[in-house]
Amino acid sequence: MLMQQRALGRAPVFRHGPAKVALRTSVRSKALLMDAECFTIPAAPDLIPEGPWKKVAGGVCAAQGFKATGAHAGLRASGKKADLALVVADAPATAAGTFTQNVMCAAPVLYCKDVLKRNQKIKAVLTNAGQANAATGTLGYEDAVATAKALAAALGCSTDEIMLQSTGVIGRRMKMENFIPAIPEIAKTLGASTEDAHRAAVAITTTDLVSKEAALQVQIGGKTVHVGGMCKGSGMIHPNMATMLGVVTCDAAVAPELWTQMVKRASVASFNSITVDGDTSTNDCVIGLASGAAGNALVTDPNSADAKLLDSAVTALMQGLAKSIAWDGEGATCLLEIEVKGARSDDDARIIARSVAGSSLAKSAFFGHDPNWGRIAAAAGYSGIIFDQEDLGVQLGSMKLMEAGQPLAFDKATANKYLKDTCAKHGTVQVLVTVGKGPGKGMAWGCDLSYDYVKINAEYTT
């Protein structure tokens, strides 16, 4: 019913068709289902920025040393869509994580944070869709521990090598009667193909209309290094990690402390720079795993050329994934890309950009194809960052609407057509805001606010 609600009044334009998934018809048990109908969802468009890397297929399996899978285990309220995903490293991988700062953080978030305090080598990430296992008290945490124990037994590893992610309805415990029996069965279906990665990417989605995965390769120390990832998210998107989930895999050999820094920096410039509705989830979590299987010399110096290139590649991959979440915002007809220049610092610029991207009034105007630039100016002004209003400039696409604090004459019909044509193809509306002559620059991404967003969320649990 929920997916049908998302479809009401919206005819999204997908740039990529459904991925062709080879069936594993031999995998049939009471615990799992892996028929084609479990994975019938289109793929998100390619939104990775250009750079000194090559975009490749493979998602989380693009990097050497990782396998993945996804299946239907009966965890959702209804339907046969896959709802359980597993990513496993051949050998324990260097791990880093960023998590929600919502005080009501979910049981799997608490579990992962506890594990990373004790161990930086992780074997597997298990993700379920259907129940968020948030606001479930002590019993919810015990459920999380029980799933970790079941997976550790299936993989022959320690529970301190297991990470957990959950997404779905807050306040409901997981369907343990279906979950626990499915764990040893799903471990038997792991594979390293593009299709295996796609199964996992589909299984973690909820109200998403598209699956979200990407990968790229780059030369590090004379070796070909791959960075791949998958994520989910469409509503309740306003991450503050210092219901959005992500897993990033990399086969570079990189020092643990440096990998942690890279994942955290990339999160700030990607997942922490998107917003759909201003609601910070209880379950926000991004886990990065580095296997070292590429065979490059260990990257230890953060100022080295190799470290800087790997850092930029990880950031680009995560930005592409994050933008796909905003593009697929519930009820959205366009992706908003807000760029801010001239701030005192990059952090200031990102805060202003995110304020504009999150303005309900500005988002509504974009949906109505109304070039109401005053709402953009207002959102920049209440961001909390101080700037001289006489330095403010606003540009929509190639059209300057305001410069040096002064409104400019512009062709409203042309601006309206730009918005209408962009939204008709579910494209990217570009907004440039200048706030001075400082060195700070930053970007944020969001989406327009349509009638369908309310339709989707008004009856989420009914």
The binding site for substrate consists of 206, 232, 243, 330, 457, 462
Catalytic residue among 243, 249, 260, 275: 243
Q: Is 94 assigned a catalytic role? A: no
User: 3-state DSSP call for residue 255?
Assistant: coil
Give the span between the Cα atoms of 400 and 382, in whole angstroms. Answer: 21
Degrees to nearest 5, angle at CA 297 with 293 and 303: 120
Pair of tokens at residue 244: 């959005």
Q: What is the DSSP letter of 384?
A: S
Provide CB contacts within 8 A for 305, sequence distance 6+.
Answer: none
Q: Are 16 and 42 in contact (CB under 8 A)?
A: yes
Rounded distance between C-alpha atoms, residue 104 and residue 124, angstroms: 25
| DSSP β-ladder status, 121-131 and 162-169 | parallel
DSSP 3-state assignment of 196? helix
Comparing CA positions, the residue from 199, 197, 203 lying closest to residue 215 is: 197
Judging by DSSP bridges, how do beta strands 285-290 and 84-99 pair with one another?
antiparallel
Structure tokens at 94: 């260097």
- What residues are labeled active site? 243
